[in-house]
Structure 1
């Protein structure tokens, strides 16, 4: 899937909604260079709800216009389709002719034409613009039209335009039920629709910034009001929040830092350190551990020495709720200090009244912390 190509296509005028729909679906198969497109016509027709003849016609148009390049022709064997690559240079420079999806003229009831527009033709923003279409007269009485949630100052046609503009920008729109999403959108209050439209771009960006971005169906997103997750400081897509030194989230950030692989780009030893290391094996180990603590985890070293408030990712804020405060003079605090010294971790020894750490004995507690961190991030490597 090439989000880059899809996002560019959404903003382009490709000469009609059917052409844009198919172009975006093809981009969903391509890599960021536009290569590797080989779905069957039947699959494209089923997923775009276009007829197979329409899909074939548009594909032929794209090839003729140079937007698509046939890199391998179908052999005629079942399941073997043409393979295409996008010519990104021609695609992004494309300017359509008068090929829009035409609509019938509208008359005023006395045979006089009052509107003669074509679907997307001439619309600089393609499907993202407010495309003029024919609205058939409603069959139900006016008192029954619209949604129960539509306020008197909200025109159903205006709601529909807002929905269309929103829906086409949702990452899974091609795989989502447009009807289910529309019903969910209409069922919201005017304030919720405005909030959804306003916050969805930030939500999409936040999800893409996670380690394993995954988007749900459009209707699910709307029904769950998922954009509100960004206001939850413990949610994975919530923004980092700043926390004081030695608080639970701050200590979780420190433990996450020392759980990372040790940095290996250390400065060369000074002459004094070389002299010390040469004096005995014990002195050499002491020099090595001193350097490991200082250079092995640079961010953790700065945290311990500077003791400043820092932004903590939402993921760690949630995990830190399981931390417990212990007396810095207790045996358990001494055990944590001993573990840090064995590992060479930077470790705070002053500046706090309570030491916030995962519950349990240090080794077991750290293993459990790292396990939770890995599970929350969705991978098996060390944090």
Structure 2
């Protein structure tokens, strides 16, 4: 097998609406050829164009766009006589590499990628010694705890979020322009109206916030959107307005006195409260979605697959809050949702009513939580009495629960 089996790229880029033409394929080529030791690759744009059956200008435009988006880092290489030489590229999912590292890597890759290299490319002599160790002594150990060796695969802003979730205290490290931009992209792409929203306006408001408030805006973004949409409103404010008016503070301020306070108990998605929480997320408007370049190409060449692709996309991405609940083993539920679920009924796994609920989820493109083998019963909203058709009864039960959920929407205002 001559070609690498895998191409590693960041997951967030797949559905990015800024991608065009060959962008994703170029990114995959760079990810496929990344060196396993240092993550960089040195590739000729001409060879990339030949592999993708396109012009060099197409590859050049795609790389420039990927660099601008923040998915690729480029390090230009200038040959001794000024002629073009293959550049270094890195798919961004790692920390910065010191510039001195490129000198060592160039020795390994110069022959293959630099057409102007005429030096001796044979194996280096065995008598070349390693550079001398630094004569300075290591600093004395302090009395405190040893520092945490954070993985270089995790950006600083993501570690801040993780630490905040674990300790309920938001820790802010010194920000770099790259980490600020990456945090903004994560925030903006997570905003449900991002596809029709103004990214420049949102970025301007993002940069106007101090680091602490940016971290808080990102941390509470998902909770704010869920709370705002749970009131029954059909439209969400723009990302820029959320940032400019610091709307996450309203959510935080209302939380102590809110009737939506979470219960102290955790629930699974198959319990009464857990199922009620899941359905409440599924009753929210579907997230605006767009096809990726690869998906669009499939639809263009095989129109018959359009429905299948859209259904799969809605099920996996249309209700991200619901998908997150399904992926978590246990989670907290608001007290109001717990109260609304008290009349839920037990349904035998694999029975007729279970299958009717499964069909209802499929008809709506809702993600269906797969029951573990040991599960015998799950909880669902009660079916109306006197309705023989199970599919119709399930539809009525969903409508009835939605009406109960919306009765107290004035109390849920964010």
TM-score, normalization: structure 1?
Answer: 0.36
Higher relative contact order (CA closer than 8 Å, sequence separation 6+): 2
TM-score, scaled relative to structure 2: 0.33
